[in-house]
Copies of this chain bind each other. A is one copy, B any other.
């Protein structure tokens, strides 16, 4: 079970590379081990080319290394906090993708002006607080912002993006779509103000997308 999850999480990092969400080693995917208080995550400082299923490490929900030869990602504490506090989440992704991080650096949520945003995020992509690495502040900011929110993505101020999902793949999809809409809305606003979508229409699009696609929720 863990080995299969390691393969999947290893493989999903290639999607971050393919969609240009990461440079060098800055970005990571994790996945909860079904039925256990464990998750697997990228090791720290390993390039995406060199990542293998064996190099993916296993941590407990306090972020302590349980299995693996390498140190876990420096973002492990934030992933662990999410798994401890959001039991429905089985995958977490972190990136510094350009356009999403640009909104985050200004401290602005991304307004919902695309039907694809209504589908995937159910409204705006919210802003989380500025938080330093080194304790639970980043994790707390993620959980406080996403709890009760439709969006599976949060822009952490001056930092980057965290996304959640009911699987690692769903969290990666949210990271890909987040950067895609962050870029399109940015480009649109460069030459004027995008037209808003009425709240009722956002609700209809979101409800339909979650049901027609058989996805109970963004998790």
Contact = CB atoms under 8 A, between A and B. Distances in A.
Interface of A: 19, 23-24, 26, 44-45, 74, 96, 98-99, 101-103, 105-108, 113-116, 130, 132-134, 157-160, 173, 176-177, 180, 183-195, 197, 201, 204-205, 208, 212-213
A24 B177 contact: yes
Given A23-B176, A102-B187, A205-B133, A195 B157 contact: yes
A108 B188 CA distance: 10
A133 to B, nearest CB: 7
Contact of A96 (B113, B133, B180, B193): B180
8 contacts: A96-B180, A99-B187, A105-B188, A114-B158, A116-B159, A130-B195, A130-B201, A158-B197
Copies in the complex: 4
A44 B53 CA distance: 30
Contacts of A193: 106
Contact of A213 (B23, B74, B160, B204): B74
Contacts of A189: 191
A197 B130 CA distance: 9
A141 to B, nearest CB: 12
Given A24-B176, A24-B177, A96-B184, 10 more contacts: A24-B173, A44-B213, A45-B213, A74-B213, A98-B187, A101-B184, A108-B191, A114-B158, A130-B201, A186-B191
A115, A157, A160 — most chain B CB neighbours (10 Å): A115
Contacts of A183: 98
Nearest to A191: B189
Contacts of A115: 132-133, 158-160
Interface centre among A106, A113, A130, A205 (most CB of B within 10 A): A106
A55 to B, nearest CB: 17
A180 B192 CA distance: 20
